[in-house]
Chain A
Amino acid sequence: MDLLLMVIALSVVILGIVYVALYYLNQSVDQIGR
């Protein structure tokens, strides 16, 4: 059970960081032409 929670927690945290990083990276290049 502990292992399952740990896998889920780490996956959510890491993929969350990736999502936020990609979101801001894309936003920074979308600003051209506005």
Chain B
Amino acid sequence: MHLIPQSWSHLHILVSVFPSVGLTFALGFYIAAFMTKNEAMKRTCLIVFGILGILAIPTYFSGTGSMAALSQNPAISADMMNTHYYAGLLGLAALVITGGAAFYELWQSGQTGRLSEQMLKLVLVLAAVTLVLMAVVGELGWEISHYELRLTIAPANAAISTPQDWSHIHMILNHFPTVGFVFALGFYVVALLMDNGAMKRGGLALFVICGILGVPTYVSGAASMWALTVPPLPEISKAVVNAHRDMALLTLFGLGFTGAAAWIELWRYRYLGRFSNLSLYLVLAFAIITLGIMAETGHRGGQINHPEIRVATDILPTDPNAGWSPAIELLINNVIWFVPWQTVHFFGYSMIFGTVLAIVLRVLGFWKSMSFAAVHRILPLGVLGVLMNVFSGMLMMLADTYRYVVQDTTFAPKMALIPIGVTAVLYFSLSDDIWNVKAGEEAPTRAKAVAILVLLAWTGVIIGGRLLPYV
């Protein structure tokens, strides 16, 4: 592997995702800082906006360098590059202004001794505008070399082809758990250094979110594999895809362990009122290992369809049957392996739904004689169920990814509802309003709305799962 870029194109692919996708997470933390009224968190976010503004420089120069290199390639449209370039100038200008405003605010707070509320809000608006622009620029950017996104299915291949929308979704989605994880780790390390409780909780929550985003990312990746390999596309090698897939499997485990360890600490915090340093550093260790695996996964993913970033020392695999993923596919196709994991999956969803039902009903007003803290106590049962089902579900999916992901129409909605259900449950671990609901008290309206969302999401997951083989 060569993680250090050796071409402008490679550097551009790497660096450009930070001011675009990364900005989403910086903005998320910034909003969290407003909600928790945490000054240190606001300042950290201002520094991050400033750094992202500085990243406009390598993004611009690697971009123009890539344009010069790719203009030699007849397969690349000069018009598309130009559109991306001019939109990119606008996006980068907004980015620099946001970064400049953030640095100015930091400077003036150093002079006056306090942050200006108006300026903080201006940075918020600027960052939001920049994010919208960057989303457009990003989309125009990856359409340049990803010609497959424009492919339509030939009538002769209609029975076997998978829509390229999957490749498109995977390309967008995979940057969120990866870039988000870099930001989560960065914030988390700063939180540990500054010993800031709200930032620690923010970092832990983002680890959980990245963890659960791993699920739709992995699934959309499996669908893209079919879109790119059946019927085969020139330049795409199944062996290279499998090498990426093997690493993605490890990443899913890493994301799962980091997310679960982070969530458990958020849960324990409620009862202990403080974090255990041992657990915090355990989460840090999991996160660092996961980030390493994820970097390799991303690199292998980039190698699938970016011949321009390959160098002579890259030795790509050639045997499409090598690796763990094809081996697991063969194994799990035996009834003796499939059915026991399916049983585990059913236990898992019983645990999830049982927990969800108890908590949601309390929030909606049943069993008011119990405080929310009492029902919060059973949440780990549901989280263990989620962990069980991510792994058993992933194994079952490997038995026949094409049927599940491409042919079964209820699979995609099921995969979309899982992160919604999990993230909504995260609210119950983070919100102070709901935590303070004592025995006999009514839950706040906002909590009730989240409870209904959680119930609908998990009901949808079960219905989607049960209908898989039939619709």
Could you tell me which A residues sit within 8 Å of B by CB distance?
2-3, 6-7, 9-11, 14-15, 18, 21-22, 25-26, 28-29, 32
Contacts and interface: CB of A to CB of B under 8 A. Distances in A.
A21 B272 contact: no
A26 B377 CA distance: 8
A29 B336 contact: no
B339 interface: yes
A10 B272 contact: no
B380 A22 contact: yes
B175 interface: no
A25 B347 contact: no
B387 to A, nearest CB: 9
14 contacts: A3-B336, A3-B339, A6-B336, A6-B340, A10-B343, A11-B340, A11-B343, A15-B347, A18-B388, A25-B264, A25-B268, A29-B271, A32-B271, A32-B272
A25 B380 CA distance: 8
A32 B351 CA distance: 27
B341 interface: yes
B380 A10 contact: no
B450 interface: no
B277 to A, nearest CB: 14
A11 B335 CA distance: 16
Contacts of B344: 10-11, 14
A3 B380 contact: no
Nearest to B273: A32
Given A7-B343, A10-B343, A32-B272, 4 more contacts: A3-B335, A9-B340, A18-B384, A25-B264
Nearest to B348: A14
**Size bracket of the B interface:** 20 to 34
A14 B268 CA distance: 23
Chain A interface, >50% SS class? helix
Contact of B347 (A9, A14, A22): A14
Nearest to A28: B268
A29 B268 contact: yes
A25 B268 CA distance: 8
Contacts of B340: 3, 6-7, 9-11
Nearest to B268: A29
A26 B380 CA distance: 9
Nearest to B384: A18
A12 B226 CA distance: 36
B375 interface: no
B336 A11 contact: no
Contacts of A26: 377
Nearest to A29: B271
A14 B388 CA distance: 8
Interface string B374-398: 0001001100100010000000000
A16 to B, nearest CB: 12
B229 to A, nearest CB: 32
Nearest to B391: A14
